[in-house]
């Protein structure tokens, strides 16, 4: 009998639905997760964008922060008007998806050295004050969840490369997720680099590096998904 795992929340953010490397890596991970007996909840923030924050979100957030860490139910009691209700209704389902997941998989292409605006909107929305902290114990609710980021980069941005200082993709996500209580030991990045080789003339001659990066990334994704579903 197959034991069903708590769901994997798979968030895709690439605008390219045909040739996206981050989507390919994410799909590979999700398929392995299902093969291991798990279920997958998929959210495509490019196809169905998360609404940007509006003033009422900030207003409600400030009111909550003054009260300290509250339960989701108690937050709802502080809503004062229709605009705040709208913002909370847009926020709560996204927060609950993360809270209910056993693991979170983020598919993240590098856009202009950082993450897509669509993913940033999702992050902004789930960053409502205190929603990932237990109000009774102070326990960080994301500390025991696995987070996997499958990232794609057109060129090379690793340590020691000429463009190392242009890398605001992984560094941003490490800081942001860590601030929300994600355990650094449970946050894994799998990056495929040189994905624009063959498209950008300046990258001509780097075909071997691109192929090696692709092989390593796909192998790592399969290994990681298999380990997390055992």
Q: What is the 3-state secondary structure (H, E, C) of the chain?
A: CCCCEEEEEEEECCCCCCCCHHHHHHHHHHHHHHHCCEEEEEEECCCCCCCCCCHHHHHHHHHHHHHCCCCHHHHHHCCCCHHHHHHHHHHHHHHHHHHHCCEEEEEEECECCECCHHHHHHHHHHCCCCCCECCCCCCECCCCCEEEEEEECCCCCCCCCCCHHHCCCHHHHHHHHHHCCCCHHHEEEEEECCCCCCCCHHHCCCHHHHHHHHHHHHHHHHHHHHHHCC
What pLDDT is attached to residue 2? 45
Tens digits of per-residue pLDDT, 41-88? 999 999 999 999 999 999 999 999 999 999 999 999 999 999 999 999
Question: Which stretches in the chain have pLDDT values below 50?
Answer: 1-3
Q: Does domain 5-228 have CATH number 3.10.129.10?
A: no
Whether residue 113 is annotated as binding a ligand: the answer is yes
112 annotated ligand binder: yes
pLDDT at position 230, please?
82
What is the rounded average pLDDT for all residues in the chain?
96
**Annotated binding-site residue? 213:** no
For residue 127, say whether it is annotated as part of any ligand binding site: no
96 annotated as a binding-site residue: no
pLDDT score recorded for residue 135:
96
pLDDT of residue 5: 59
pLDDT the model gives residue 51: 98
Q: Does the annotation list 168 as a binding residue?
A: no
């Amino acid at each position: 009998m197959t034991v069903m795992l708590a769901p994997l929340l798979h968030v895709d953010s690439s605008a390219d639905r045909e040739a996206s490397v981050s989507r390919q890596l994410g799909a590979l991970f999700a398929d392995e997760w299902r093969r291991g007996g798990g279920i997958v909840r998929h959210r495509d923030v490019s196809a169905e964008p998360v609404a940007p924050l509006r003033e009422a979100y900030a207003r409600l957030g400030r009111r909550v922060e003054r009260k300290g860490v509250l339960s989701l139910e108690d937050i709802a009691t502080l809503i004062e008007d229709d605009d705040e209700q709208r913002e909370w209704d847009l926020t709560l389902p996204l927060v609950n998806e993360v809270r209910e997941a056993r693991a979170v998989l983020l598919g993240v292409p590098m856009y202009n050295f950082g993450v897509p605006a669509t993913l940033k909107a999702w992050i902004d929305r789930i960053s409502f004050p205190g929603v990932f902290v237990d109000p009774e114990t102070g326990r960080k609710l994301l500390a025991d969840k696995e987070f996997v980021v499958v990232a794609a980069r057109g060129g090379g941005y690793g340590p020691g490369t000429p463009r190392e200082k242009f890398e605001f993709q992984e560094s941003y996500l490490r800081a942001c997720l860590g601030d929300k209580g994600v355990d650094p030991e449970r946050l894994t990045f799998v990056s495929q680099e040189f994905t624009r080789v063959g498209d950008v003339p300046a990258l001509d001659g780097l075909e071997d590096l691109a192929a090696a990066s692709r092989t390593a990334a796909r192998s790592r994704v399969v290994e990681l998904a298999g380990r997390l579903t055992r």
